[in-house]
Structure 1
């Protein structure tokens, strides 16, 4: 392990090719309650991110201008874009996943399963075939801080898939304590899902699990991919080479496609989520507790 200027921890020589030694971690904006859900809009060169307790989605441009994209966001958490470029959002307050249409209206993608309300959709991704995948832990109904306190109606905390042709919702993975961030490998043959159940139960391992999937979204294999040694995994992303970048209590942890931890980018606040963006998709935007940070890297983002 090598510590570099209190910014990088290098655990594997491969990490050196992914980072920029001369890059600086920049705090872009601060003063929020709990930042989450960063999503990059390359066609507009801007970042949207959630401030969950304040019920806002914020807009941040490359020149540092910050404005409110949506007030009354229904405790929005995770965000992504679908294959038509529309914003897709997990809303704790309505216990739903919604899509923002070009006219600004919101369409409900999912809010119930087998006749019962979802728990509180947390994070969401879109596959190239149009399928929407999201996680449904109970964080948004545990208290009135990030949603509305309520008893769960679902018997488990699931990972769901929305069929792109029929819109049908199916629970694909049902054995998580609290599923959180999720992302596909660049070839979409492996689904990674973060287990964040240690937030309320220290006996739950802070791991990222990997699931081999077929083209129809069926799970054909399951294994532990990586373990987070500081805090827990929340939001996760992959780069074009298949390395996985995960949020953690001390920053961002980077893992090779073989599950080896390559290194860390140290961040002074607990990291909730991240995404790749910028003009060349080689800048990481980091939502960390009260602030949003960014840092340039030497690899472009994948999904």
Structure 2
């Protein structure tokens, strides 16, 4: 009887552990490198190669599916958030001049966005592209030591949408205080936006005209960068990585031995390796979950 009771308890513990591990971690967290100053902007190309930024050093790095780490671009416009479009161009929040760039496979740079109604925006921080090639981007104000300006030209910190092929962006969310991390669902129906000062992550409905409505609070946690897996789970960064169901239920956490985690994406040939940019480092962890970006 005692043995059966203990077995039942162990079985219950196993079930609870599995319930708290939606990513089904298959290995321990592995450090790739700690040679950077502050890593950010993780994104993945269609082959599964991961690109990320070292903003203070003004660089973009590549971690290939072959396991090789290499400098991809120096003088990167103080790149912050990044995302690949369907043609393989790396779309970059170029924080140095508060612009958005497109970097093609030959490393040729094209400025997609430079101002809003004649004023410099606060500093494009993170971005997500919809199926039409339009760009949603967050615009919080963080004073940089490489800027000459000492205050914002635009008072409000908003979420903008830049239609493909256009130079003029539209405001899609001004009901946030300091928007930062952003990601959309693969079906193009919803957009997640983290608000750093409100310490919340919201979900908006994306309308046919790219505007946003029906804001809902998903969880009381902000996020510097975020990603989704194929089950719709949301991965938020900050003090480690916290995972939530689309309903807002917290279902997991990954401890990362750094002061701050800036961004995250799934990469590798099968998009089943989670890459985490964290302070001066970049980490990876093998999972059985798969990314959708």
Tell me the TM-score normalised to structure 1 length. 0.86
Of 277, 281, 285 in structure 2, the residue corresponding to residue 295 of structure 1 is: 285
Q: How does 1:137-286 map to 2 (within 5 A)?
A: 137-139=140-142, 142-144=143-145, 147-164=147-164, 166-197=166-197, 205-228=198-221, 232-249=222-239, 251-269=240-258, 270-286=260-276
Shift of 1:115: 1.4
Deviation string for 1:153-206 (max 9, x for gaps)? 112111111112545310111132211110112322111001113xxxxxxx31
Distance in 1 of aligned mates of 2:167 and 2:65: 35
The structure with more radius of gyration: 2
1:187 & 1:12 partners in 2: Cα distance? 31
- Which SS does the other structure have where 1:253 is aligned? strand
**Match 1:106 to one of 104, 109, 113:** 109
Unmatched 5+ stretches in structure 1: 1-9, 198-204
Report the Cα offset of residue 149 of structure 1: 4.6
Q: Classify 1:166/1:74 alpha carbon distance in 2 versus 1 (closer, same or farther; 3 Å).
A: closer
* 1:40 aligned partner: 44
1:148–1:54 distance in 2 versus 1, CA, 3 Å? farther
Structure 2 residue runs of 5 or longer lacking an equivalent are 1-14
Confirm or deny: 8 A CA contact 2:42 2:275 kept in the other structure: yes
Query: Is residue 86 of structure 1 aligned with residue 80 of structure 2?
Result: no
Displacement of 1:223 in angstroms is 1.7
Q: Label 1:149 to 1:35 Cα distance change in 2 as closer, same or farther (>3 A).
A: farther
Q: Distance in 2 between matches of 1:176 and 1:100?
A: 30
SS state at 1:257 partner? coil
Q: 1:12 to 1:162 in 2, by over 3 A?
A: farther
Distance 1:166 1:90 in 2: 16
**Root-mean-square deviation (CA), in Å?**
1.9
Q: Which has the higher strand share?
A: 1
Instruction: Normalising by structure 2, report the TM-score.
Output: 0.89
Q: Secondary structure at the match of 1:293?
A: strand
